[in-house]
Amino acid sequence: MRPSEAARLGAAAAVLAVLIAVSASAGPATAAQAPAPPSGVGELDAVRQELIAVARDTRSREETAVALEHTIGLLGQDAEGRQRDLDESRAEQARLLGTLAYLARDLPERPGYAPPAAIERIRGEMLLQGTLPGLRAEAHALTGEIERIGVLRAQIATKKDALASVRQARGDDRRQLAELTARRLDLTRRILPEDSAGPTRILRLGREASNIGDLMKHAERRGKEVLARARAALPADKAGALTAEAADPTRPHQLHPFDPPHTLLVTPVSGTIARHFDDAEAPTAAGATPNQGLSLAALPGAVVVAPFDGRAIYAGPFRNLGLCLIIQHGSLYHSLLAGLERIDIKADQWVLAGEPVGAMPEASGGALYFELRRDDRPVDPQPWLAPGAAGQDAADGDQRMRE
């Protein structure tokens, strides 16, 4: 074999390994051609499922923490308001307590030796009978208010203890997620070697794309170019054996098709919707165009998960969006997650709905910008969120598409 031919075959083999990683439309091989699955495939599937389960527990605790913090805030406001009212009425309280102490010590009595005039006696009794009930009512109200503040403070202490327990459990979950994430990456690399030039090409895509739609198109085109290079590097008699349906051993077997209107999306981060689709107010915290997606307020360090099954086609910084992740769901739909502090997957990796893909900033939490696109046109993802997520019911998300 001539040296030039050997070099060409070696280059073709290297590019073929990259191609397998980026093939989004890979299909199963025929029974006669199906090779034995690479070592670690079954373990990778198990790690994915464990990641989803731990992320689900973590998100549940994050939601509990948000609810507890909200309740503690409301109870604290109530207690502070009541205590402020008591502090401002110190003078009235002092007069009331002094009067009650005086009456308890010097309560008027009828002297037996020299009864006063009838009119004087009747007037005194009427005055006393009219004053005492009001004084007693004020005293009871003051006592009740003091007791209520005590109850509120006890409830706050109980809620704070519960919040501390939730935070500790959440910390344990996050450590477990970190271990599983590292294991997922190690298994992926073992099953399918990484393209060493891939990160450089991804960064170049981010610099060259003019907007999100342009970035998505360039990222998809990258996979097609890798296929063309692989075919060009192979000998003429073997080029036809390389197809876009080449099996990717890291591709999950349980991928679901994006099938509107039956598709349900997982809310990518626990929190509340701070800004809605088509909201024309100030720009989102992530700096994205305000009316193309949702802005989700999140806890510091909150776990971010994939909203649906798919393949990451971009993971990195992009203009004023900061770190962002683009996931391709079939041939028409893409989701964009922006405003992350950390991305835990790489471009060309597969993910399942609910699988953790990154985390929010630790310092402030901030807002996650979540955008869904159909054929490069932004659509409202909120109607597609699973029932109960952000108070939504399942519906056809295509009903709100931005022209």
Alpha helices in 89-117 (DSSP H): 90-105
Query: What confidence score (pLDDT) does residue 319 get?
Result: 87
Summarize pLDDT for 151-187 with one digit per residue, the tens: 999 999 999 999 999 999 999 999 999 999 999 999 9
User: CA-CA distance, 70 to 151, in Å (whole number)?
Assistant: 18
What's the pLDDT at 391? 42
Residue 241's CB is within 10 A of a number of other CB atoms, namely: 10
Tell me which of 130 and 93 has the higher pLDDT.
93
Amino acid 218 reads H
| Residue 391 near residue 375 (C-beta atoms within 8 A) | no
**DSSP summary character for residue 37:** P
Whole-number pLDDT of residue 102:
63
- Domain 271-399, architecture per CATH: Distorted Sandwich (2.70)
CA distance 276 to 159: 31
pLDDT, tens only, 220-236: 777 666 555 555 654 55
Q: In the prediction, which pLDDT does 14 show?
A: 46
- Summarize pLDDT for 251-268 with one digit per residue, the tens: 888 889 988 778 899 999
Beta bridge partners of 265: 385
Phi-psi region of 57 (alpha: psi -120 to 50; beta: other; left: phi over 0): alpha
Residue 76's pLDDT band (cuts 50, 70, 90): very high
In this structure, which amino acid lies at residue 394? A
For residue 178, the model assigns a pLDDT of: 96
Is 50 exceeded by the pLDDT of residue 25? no
Tell whether the model's pLDDT for residue 41 goes beyond 60.
yes
b/e code 383-403 from CB counts within 10 Å (16+ = b): bbbbeebeebebbebeebeee
Residues 6+ apart with CB under 8 A from 311: 24, 327, 328, 348, 349, 350, 351
Tell me which DSSP letter residue 211 carries.
S
Chain segment 333-366, per-residue pLDDT in tens: 999 999 999 999 988 889 999 999 999 999 877 8
140's tokens: 């009871």
Report angle CA 124, 125, 127 to the nearest 5 degrees: 65
pLDDT digits (tens, 9 = 90+) for 97-133: 766 666 666 555 544 444 555 555 555 555 555 566 7
Cα 15 to Cα 20, 193, 198, 225, distances in angstroms: 9, 11, 11, 11
* Residue, of 328 and 38, whose pLDDT is higher: 328
- Model confidence at 314: pLDDT above 80: yes
Q: Given a cut of 50, is residue 142 above it in pLDDT?
A: yes
Q: Which tokens sit at 133? A: 């009930």
Name, in order, each residue with C-beta under 8 angstroms of 286's C-beta and a sequence gap of 6 or more. Answer: 295, 320, 321, 322, 338, 339, 366, 367, 368, 369
Q: At what angle do helices 90-105 and 118-191 cross, to 10 degrees?
A: 140
pLDDT for 29 equals 41
- 3-state DSSP assignment of residue 310: strand
CB count within 10 Å of CB 273 equals 20
Is 0.75 surpassed by the pTM of this model? no
CA 396/CA 403 separation, integer angstroms:
17
